[in-house]
Amino acid sequence: MLTCDACGRTAESGQRCDDCGEPLWFDTDPDGVAWPDRDGVWAFGDLLPVEPPPGGLAAAAGATPLVRASGLDAGGARVHVKIEGTNPTGSFKDRGSAVGVAAAVADGEGGATFAGDGAPDAVGTVSHGNMAVSMAAHGASTDLECVVLVPADISAARLRRIAAYDPRIVRVDGDYGRLYYDALDLGPESGIEFVNSDSPLRVAGQKTTVLEVLRAFATGEAGGGVGGGERGTTEAAPDVPDAVVMPISSGGHASAAWKAVREATAAGLVDDPPRLYFVQAAACAPVAAAFERGDDAVTRLEGEEVGETVAYSIANPDPPSGTRALAAARATDGAALAVDDDAIHAARRDLVAAGIRVEPASATPLAGLRRLRERGAVDAGEHVVLVATGVGYGGTDGGDGRSGSLDVETVPRSGLAAALGLGDAGE
């Protein structure tokens, strides 16, 4: 069953609340849930809405390393890095794609969100970055078609990277931000299970990032165990990290982190949950701005309010789970904050110098931690987990063996329904 955390409404299918418009979540029963003896998305099956598919890429999602990186300690705060770039397509997106595709494969049984008649014929997503690559790969490992809606002006390198897995790509000319909502409207009727940035299935998969972090601290694997502690000391990590710092774009990963913390707490696995901090690039920081203003909801940034940033993959002016993330930051005594591109560049250089290569967006947590330490929001001696969300080859031409131009259809936004086989025009 699905519930709206904002207003309490329940639903059998769908992705957002019919009453208040906020994203739906899958209900879970934390009763009797214990830490699994290993990591990986499916290790947390007791808290997932669907069984794993019997093979394929879904099995490879998650189980990413958590490393103690003392060279990155910030004013005495102890830094651990969760390296999500080691997922099969190089980002945390594989966690949600694995669950989303598994649900679609399961033919609508067992908690899928699909609101159409019968089972979905395809999976889909609205993305031109890591999520598009991830969904295309996970779709490819099953018999389901994958539909990827990209903006008309997508770069050739990005297009090629997605096209390597041979999904159906539709370039849509028009307001790309609204496509998220178009997909929710059109998906059920066109037989496509859209697994977007904060869909309930994706959030269910993405919560395993922080479940793995909490498990590592609870079981003593973090900090004091292999790869932990400080050189020459036997310092042990605490049972729970003091804080988790992660980038925020749509808010889907941020709200998943909150869900993870709440479920672990409800199961009695965590006593004193970590503070959650969400970091944006200053050029496009609607969640941080709302947090600083003390607002209850995030307001969409318009036109000239949005600047350019090196952390382009998290530059979302209208985050569909922004308001949920705002609630998460407040409820956990954390914050949303913004860092400028100079700070992001410096943090990225330092991560690479510590052996950890990340895309610019994934350097924002270290930049954010440094600001938080300066402000006194994080203390010396605290153990802080930075979520390095991706390695960032999604936007490059990684040599996929293809060459020449790609023949990809382009439709106006008003023609999307017809392109998906709906309405008079058909396909």
Where along the sequence are the contacts to a copy of itself (CB under 8 A)? 37-38, 40, 42, 52-60, 63, 65, 67-71, 83, 85-90, 137-141, 164-166, 226-233, 345, 348-349, 352-357, 359-360, 391-393, 395-401
In the bound complex, what is the minimum distance in angstroms from residue 411's beta carbon to a copy of itself?
25
> How many other C-beta atoms lie within 10 A of the C-beta of residue 374?
11
Contact (CB, 8 A) for 44 and 211:
yes
C-beta closer to a copy of itself: residue 52 or 111 = 52
In the bound complex, what is the minimum distance in angstroms from residue 173's beta carbon to a copy of itself?
27
C-beta closer to a copy of itself: residue 275 or 348 = 348
Alpha carbon distance 100, 116 (integer Å): 15
C-beta closer to a copy of itself: residue 198 or 382 = 382
Burial class (CB in 10 A: 0-12, 13-18, 19+), 18: exposed
Q: How far is CA 52 from CA 43, 160, 272, in A?
A: 10, 29, 31
**Amino acid at the residue 220:** G
In the bound complex, what is the minimum distance in angstroms from residue 262's beta carbon to a copy of itself?
25
C-beta closer to a copy of itself: residue 215 or 262 = 215
**Amino acid at the residue 140:** A
In the bound complex, what is the minimum distance in angstroms from residue 159's beta carbon to a copy of itself?
15
Alpha carbon distance 344, 341 (integer Å): 5
C-beta closer to a copy of itself: residue 234 or 405 = 234
> How many other C-beta atoms lie within 10 A of the C-beta of residue 401?
6
Q: Dihedral (C-alpha) 325, 178, 85, 282: value to the nearest 10 degrees?
A: -60
In the bound complex, what is the minimum distance in angstroms from residue 371's beta carbon to a copy of itself?
20
C-beta closer to a copy of itself: residue 56 or 274 = 56
> How many other C-beta atoms lie within 10 A of the C-beta of residue 221?
17
In the bound complex, what is the minimum distance in angstroms from residue 391's beta carbon to a copy of itself?
8
Burial class (CB in 10 A: 0-12, 13-18, 19+), 239: middle
176, 180, 183, 105: which is closest to 138 by C-alpha? Answer: 105
- Identify the three-state secondary structure at position 113: coil
In the bound complex, what is the minimum distance in angstroms from residue 17's beta carbon to a copy of itself?
33
323, 371, 324, 321: which is closest to 344 by C-alpha? Answer: 371
Residue with tokens 């395809």: 122
C-beta closer to a copy of itself: residue 46 or 295 = 46
Alpha carbon distance 427, 169 (integer Å): 14
C-beta closer to a copy of itself: residue 398 or 423 = 398
Q: Which residues contact 409 (CB under 8 A, 6 or more apart)?
A: 169, 170, 171, 419
241, 266, 322: which is closest to 289 by C-alpha? Answer: 322
In the bound complex, what is the minimum distance in angstroms from residue 200's beta carbon to a copy of itself?
22
In the bound complex, what is the minimum distance in angstroms from residue 352's beta carbon to a copy of itself?
5
C-beta closer to a copy of itself: residue 17 or 57 = 57
C-beta closer to a copy of itself: residue 134 or 332 = 134
Q: Dihedral (C-alpha) 121, 95, 257, 7: value to the nearest 10 degrees?
A: 10
In the bound complex, what is the minimum distance in angstroms from residue 63's beta carbon to a copy of itself?
6
In the bound complex, what is the minimum distance in angstroms from residue 398's beta carbon to a copy of itself?
5
The strand pair at 10-11 and 2-4 is best described as antiparallel
The strand pair at 275-281 and 10-11 is best described as unpaired
Q: What angle do CA 6, 10, 11 make, to 5 degrees?
A: 125
C-beta closer to a copy of itself: residue 85 or 96 = 85
